[in-house]
Structure 1
Amino acid sequence: LKGYFAWSINPTTLKRNSDGPASDGELYYVTSLLFAANRWGNATGINYYQEARNILDAMWQKDGTGDVYNLFNTKHKQITFVPVGEMYSWTDPSYHLPAFLEVWAEYAQDGHAQFYRDCADTARVFLHRACSAPTGLNYDYTEFSGQSHPTRWAPAAFRYDSWRVPMNIAMDYTWFGKDRAWQQQYARRFQGFLRAKGLNTFEDQFNVDGSRPDFILPAGKVKKLRHSLGLVATAASASLMSPDKNSRDFVRALWNAQLAPYEDGYFDPYYDGLLYLFSLMHLSGNYQVIKPQVSRLPSSK
């Protein structure tokens, strides 16, 4: 697993909750490091580009030995759920970030630019399939075909990971705009479904046909459906793609939302807090591609 990161640690003991990586984590790390190299260069005492390459080079050395693989299924050119064991053979729609892969193709300079471009194009096609329901909803986990992949912890449905999908599609729309027509109609379907459920009351887990799932995946100690801030936030980010003026209602709902625990005392720092932050960054126009602003050459010292 050298070069990969454990996806979860205990913040008190700093011990790993799991040794395995989640492939989207490395996707964010590499992109952030490439942006840092573009913004600050590599002569400040931190060689950001080399840190990104350390992850990428390690990734390309994984060939299945010891049941550890590339972050991407190289046959399907799609990101894996986890690049270890059987989890290499299926995916998570919220990991499909074509915008980041376009950035890799442009700035990673590791000899795999065409592969990254192919993966970006494949991700867009995959999202068409995964989000094909009239509701715009997708399953949390899927096969590479976009069809559902049930897991041992929950039946297939639209749940917490799925909240990220509209935000990710909106990012690709604003950064690169290579699939604008489909992305606009996706935003209409997705927001139209949530509006029909009640702009200020829609719940946070669904079957992809829009019905309420029999199994509710717990969040916190209370097993219940909520009108969750994280989904309010990413639904608002979909307004970036929608030509409909009434889509601004979702932005107003986010602006008026409270960044605070729910009535039952639960608050999720990631699914609520960070998705709230990410969505505000997107909607404010402050989350953008960072192009080279200084020399990326490291110091000669």
Structure 2
Amino acid sequence: MSATIFSKCLTPPDISARKGGTPIACLTAYTTPVARMVDAHCDVVLVGDSVGMVLHGLPSTLGVTLDMMIMHAKAVRRGVERALLVVDMPFGSYEEGPEQAFRNAARVMAETECAAVKLEGGVAMADTIRFLTARGIPVMAHVGLTPQAVNAFGGYVVQGRGEDAGRVREDAKAVARAGAFAVVLEKITAPLADQITQELAIPTIGIGASPGCDGQILVVDDMLGLFADFKPRFVKRYAELNHDADSAIAAYAADVRARRFPADEHLFGIKVTDRTRLAGGSA
């Protein structure tokens, strides 16, 4: 990517300035072609650690490595010309302490040319966020349901119900005070998401939260309907590509077996009359 193109991309301060304004549209991407499509319409492209489940068939995000994130982020970088590119820090790459987080985040930024990293956790991660931002690494925070801690939560359950609302609010406030330029609120009650959005000076990005958040994010494969058997309540499907792809693959296989593909228009160095003769017909 040229320096000219890179300079046109949105920056973390650009996103922060959208607080209370036009909602921020965000989607994940893991490949160059999808990144190009998302970049044309969205403000933030996130290389999420959901790549482990979406593209690699892992049961959770816990098996995603730093090398995997860097590989996919490089591919996405080639397709982004306008949006802010953010890369997830995978499980185990930052929890040990600020120094470990800095080493790995600096590597991600240097090798992928992303503009920011995202990490999960609230109060417990505040010192790490403060350390990173003080050293020039913009951080998007993530509180509420944090998938890397799904085992501690006992599953993908809604956060912030009842007395638990106080914990989520404190997590959000802590990451904002620490210098995060935005915070993802995942799978929390809508009234709590609205309250946090009103209390914070930084944008909130909802996923299973509230339309009152300053922006929204979804996994691109979920909203495109690429998985027939995965339909979270908080996902609106804007297409059913799983059905379309299945039908297309079935039609291709049927054409191959019936020798309808390849047809004359797909061949090289042979005339239609030659093809007819080879097939046992007459000219």
So what's the TM-score if we normalise by structure 1? Answer: 0.32
Q: Which has the higher strand share?
A: 2
So what's the TM-score if we normalise by structure 2? Answer: 0.33
Which structure has the larger Rg over C-alpha atoms? 2
Q: Which has the higher contact order (CA 8 A, sep 6+)?
A: 1
